[in-house]
Structure 1
Amino acid sequence: MQQRQTVKGAFSLTNPAVRAWIYQILAVVVVVAFGGYILHNTLTNLSNRGITSGFGFLHDSAGFGIVQHLIPFEQGDTYGRVFIVGLLNTLLVSALCIVFASLLGFFIGLSRLSDNWLLRKLSTIYIETFRNIPPLLQIFFWYFAVLRNLPGPRQAVNAFDVAFLSNRGLYMPTPLMGEGATASLAAFIIAVLASVILFRINRRHQMATGELRRSWPWIILLLIVLPGGAQLVFGAAIHWDLPVLRGFNFRGGMVLIPELAALTLALSVYTSTFIAEVIRSGIQSVPFGQHEAARSLGLPNPVTLNQVILPQAMRVIIPPLTSQYLNIVKNSSLAAAIGYPDMVSLFAGSVLNQTGQAIETIAITMSVYLVISLGISFLMNIYNRRKALVER
């Protein structure tokens, strides 16, 4: 009898766990019902207006060209290829900004902690200035006030007849695969593997005997001799397509268009200010006793920073640094303001206007940014777990 009452009490509404499960089930039902209503309402409205839904439009021909494309693209290619071009352009500007903002932010963050008064004050002015100007205004500044005021192609800044800088962009040589490309790549891979093996052998020898063997002269020799010998035997690995002025513009080579340069400069400078503060706060979170202990051992400042301070500071730096990388990807959508052909400008702009598939194009664009952001978070979380303290 007592056992029956216990079981009955376990499933009673007076039990907090039972009430919690009921509330969660009701919440799921309400959310699913609301989503079903929105979907049904959307499909009904589309049907009443004669608007077809689906992703079949991706196979249709696009009636526009794209200035910046990392893969071959011509006017008349499909919208599916437009999607790939926009995705690659978004990944390109995001990767460039992440690299440049990280390097610049690391340098500025260290400068704020420098003993040099002038360097410390200049870095502070840099942070307080660019951090408080909206990124869109910085993009407009670099694009309209700086890059668009460069000389035309005929008066372009010439760098040894190899690279040319004008208001049309920066034209540079394009590397093309040569006859010995495969052999040179194989030789380079062999040189890298041999260098890793040599480094590990010398490291084990040092740990066993205390005798230091320098690996870098032999590693440099391997990386130069093996690929160089492969090119002598099998032919050149790379040929260069140089830009040449023809008519009113350059032909050949590859171009860094002003839109990409302005976006990269603006987002790198803007985000580097936040990364600099992340670096500074991470270093200052390390107890000062660690600095004193390193000095008492006679370690120079660069060694103290690389071997003692930064490994401990990274545990504080990585989480907010991940947020800044995600902000770079999301802020790259501002490229539409100056016409850079990224996902927003191409897919949520040109493709949407031509096809009228608003739901599909917006859904694809949102999914792209979601997947990129989740991928960055996944990789940074893996790195964060490697740097985290492990209790044994």
Structure 2
Amino acid sequence: MEELLKATAADLTQLKYAVDTFYFLVCGALVMWMAAGFAMLEAGLVRAKNTTEILTKNVALFAIACTMYLVCGYYIMYSSDAGGILPNLGVLIGEENGVDAVLKGGDDAPYYSARSDFFFQVVFVATAMSIVSGAVAERMKLWSFLLFAVVLTGFIYPVEGYWTWGGGFLSEAGFSDFAGSGIVHMAGAAAALAGVLLLGARKGKYGKNGEVYAIPGANLPLATLGTFILWLGWFGFNGGSELKLSDVGEANAVAQVFVNTNAAAAGGVIAALITAYAMFRKADLTMALNGALAGLVAITADPLSPSAQASTLIGAVGGGLVVLSIVTLDKLRIDDPVGAISVHGVVGAWGVLAVPLNNADASFGAQLLGIVCIFGWVFVASLAVWAVIKATVGIRVSEEDEYSGVDIAECGMEAYPEFTSAK
């Protein structure tokens, strides 16, 4: 009987391990699908003449992010001393096997495969880089963008990731960010802002006397599809961050995360629509789409602690903020074609600050420290990298190429060819 009980317990342990690993991997796949969402959203919000290039960027940045995080990013983020500031850079100077030095064969986590953790983390890195893509759209050189992607995904992001999820000094200080409102989204926005400031606005966006001219996107159905794909993928983004599913408490927690994530997105849409109508007397679709994303970003820092009603309010504040932020950045002549800096940066900061409202273990002081350190590091480091790229190979396409569209100049093909000829 005793042997039977032991065998049953061992089987149960293996089953829970398999369930939690499978859940983690499926959530990672959902987050990977967000890459399609970003691609569709950005392709819909840029002009037709720049669509092929934006799609190329999204495919290529995902591949670069996966490769750089494999080569060195994951090691930097998770192999360093607890409470530290400077990460372990041994993998860059000869540490054997990179990721394998962290994910050793027999050292898997007690309730899921450590390899599934790597897969889940790598798609987060790609999300941070995707945020940059839309903000610099329609006037940045493709290869300059991809060169920056190498540095952001291989070094800049992993350093602040070590400070937080990797057990560094921000983690020790009590900073709390469940799934990455600050660590992923605000960081991506900080990198985007640095690039936009050096890049400048698109031609024709702003007048000499402070006028702001709208530059409509080519395909709003595509942008709407992209938003729904991101909304779906976010259940993996936040739900997977619970890490575990195989007992009653964790299953209930995952369900709460899903409900709160959805509620915040809905609140964001409603608030953005109302705010836009109050300001423009129109139900602006693009603001509604950004409102959904803002609600999702806002709840990402803590989708577990609040009630569904509180989550709706947190998302609604994000939805209102994003409309005001987009308008304000335009007044400051900061040209962001898709509103990425507002959605992920301004609302990402709000999401981090909202955590102590429902989580007694978090403090506003620790949250503010995290915002300042993450934004400051990513912005300054990115500004330096962008400046080096600008001084060497350049970051902006020629005025002629911008006018004719970067699809032909950078990729040699159009996404929407009007005419074809057969020989």
Larger RCO: 1 or 2 (CA < 8 Å, sep 6+): 2
Specify the TM-score bucket, using the shorter chain as the normaliser: under 0.3
TM-score, structure 1 length as denominator?
A: 0.28
Q: Could you tell me the TM-score, scaled by structure 2's length?
A: 0.26
More strand by share: 1
